[in-house]
Structure 1
């Protein structure tokens, strides 16, 4: 392997071959399950408060709330469906345009809800103008709340990205890898060359500018490269078990998420144990969800090693990408320390 081949591995590191370009800014994303749940809750709370002004007793309030919900809930779902279907088109508009379209869809959805009440005979004289105004006002309030929430999440997202950037190059890992290569270069030059090629590939991925998410298959490939390097260092002390579902490969994860988990398992499972440890990585597609597990056997007498900033950062990045649709848990499961991730397929 020539020097220029190693160095050329970093050409274009700022943009990985499969990474997407920057996405247009969206004021609100109605396709997100978390947004759907918050929208319904927001509208129902507003309907419940509005019903108080027209009710004289608790039973009357319940009836008024049920009547308003009969119009508001279908109208909200229509607003969410149309906004989700128009997501690509909405992304091309400036922020004021997205607000305007959101309010227009809210007004039309309000008219739709009023029409349903009129058609069912629950109201005598439809209030078309009031329904349109109420729909537009609710849409404006909902979009505004989502924007405020997005801006409130920005510092957390920036912190998570910074922590991910700082974790890209672990000094001790680099030092140990180079020492291993030096030890092999005379006795086994072919293995030393393979080690440096793996290290070059690992750095190519680590230093590339990724989009908001990458495919699970890419993260698996990066983890394999990392473990190939560590296998040379630890030998038989590092026992690796793979149980991967090929159908789960297209699930989306934050970039550079799986490799830190694998590194954490090696550091806290293999490194402190003279006999080494078993590292088990699995993925499974089940019912529209992808389950990912990274587990390592725990050395005798060890506590819950692994709880720390690294795992918290991974969990935070997963929450920022998938919100309520993502699940992250870490802890002891018998003789194993296990990280369990569940995301949409």
Structure 2
């Protein structure tokens, strides 16, 4: 048996090749996040505070030096972040070596911008133009390294979160119960059975579609609606659903499969254990630059916080990965009502 050419004849499947092509098209480093800006400014301020300690005779001189250094360093940092963000798509098309080189060059230019701020103060000392350019390049190198590590760490985290969410979401008992619901309706109400199977098909098609970093809130609401329609057939009057949707919030970007596991939790821990059923409410509201999303359900008397929090932890992590510090996720159980409250940028 000749096996010398077996490995060389293998080719990546189209899905893997497409995923790799999408990964290559992503920016090597992305500074367009509020959290990145806050961390960069805090890091630079800390570095300036430490640098000002050298040669400072007392705290007054140290404070003067910190103020002077910050007047140059903070504007330079913001200039670099804005340039890196604005040129993100252009830089992403270049080879990786050039991406690094351009980022460092932008850092040197930003350092010169910071030194020009000192020039405006008309200081009676020679201005450190070369030192400022070198410092800007050095800080840019550190910043790029941190952003690259952030981007690399994000990809496996997204993949793990998606797989974990799918395992929690498409559970065998859910498929079994849904098919049983459809089978029970086939003879007595075939049209309704067909609708249940269509909703189930949409759920699976959405779950197994090509992964995207973000979808609109409107898409997520529609998916959650389909899921609850299936459960409504299963539980009948025991499941009372209420929707309170703000059209102005529909375009907000959220991670895929955000709402469905939360409404599934609401059904599992609110409706299933209760002989009288439970109420489930999904609401969205735009408040200025923020969209508030709430999933609320009643729970049987004496029941604690629903579940082990696996689905909620999954959702919280994906929100953090997509929106960083701009996203919030909170839960509360009070007076027999459990609520998940999320905030995302509008």
Q: TM-score, normalised by structure 2?
A: 0.90
Deviates more, 1:160-169 or 1:60-69: 160-169
3-state secondary structure, aligned to 1:256: coil
Quote how far apart the aligned CAs of 1:322 are.
1.2
- What is the rounded CA distance, in whole Å, between the counterparts of 1:123 and 1:343 in structure 2? 49
- What is the rounded CA distance, in whole Å, between the counterparts of 2:90 and 2:168 in structure 1? 37
- What is the rounded CA distance, in whole Å, between the counterparts of 2:68 and 2:75 in structure 1? 12
The correspondence of residues 113-262 of structure 1 with structure 2, limited to 5 A, is: 113-122=114-123, 124-262=125-263
3-state secondary structure, aligned to 1:285: strand
Q: Is the 8 A contact 1:22 1:211 kept in 2?
A: no
Name the structure 2 match of 1:294.
295
- What is the rounded CA distance, in whole Å, between the counterparts of 2:28 and 2:57 in structure 1? 39
Name the structure 1 match of 2:60.
59
Aligned length: 326
Return the structure number with greater relative CO, CA threshold 8 A, min gap 6: 1
Deviations 1:186-234 (A, max 9, x none): 1111111111111111211111112111111111110011011111011
- Ranges in structure 2 where 5+ consecutive residues have no aligned partner: 1-14, 16-20
Q: TM-score, normalised by structure 1?
A: 0.90
Moved over 4 A (4+): 152-155
3-state secondary structure, aligned to 1:281: strand
Query: Using a 3 Å threshold, how does the CA distance of structure 1 residues 265 and 44 change in structure 2: closer, same or farther?
Result: same
- What is the rounded CA distance, in whole Å, between the counterparts of 1:129 and 1:214 in structure 2? 46
Quote how far apart the aligned CAs of 1:22 are.
2.9
3-state secondary structure, aligned to 2:140: helix
Q: Is the 8 A contact 1:117 1:123 kept in 2?
A: no
Deviations 1:121-154 (A, max 9, x none): 2353222111111111111112112223444455
Q: Is the 8 A contact 2:281 2:297 kept in 1?
A: yes
- What is the rounded CA distance, in whole Å, between the counterparts of 1:145 and 1:187 in structure 2? 61
Say yes or no: does 1:339 pair with 2:340. yes
- What is the rounded CA distance, in whole Å, between the counterparts of 2:55 and 2:31 in structure 1? 31
Q: Is the 8 A contact 2:31 2:147 kept in 1?
A: no
Quote how far apart the aligned CAs of 1:167 are.
2.9
Quote how far apart the aligned CAs of 1:238 are.
0.5
- What is the rounded CA distance, in whole Å, between the counterparts of 1:220 and 1:123 in structure 2? 63
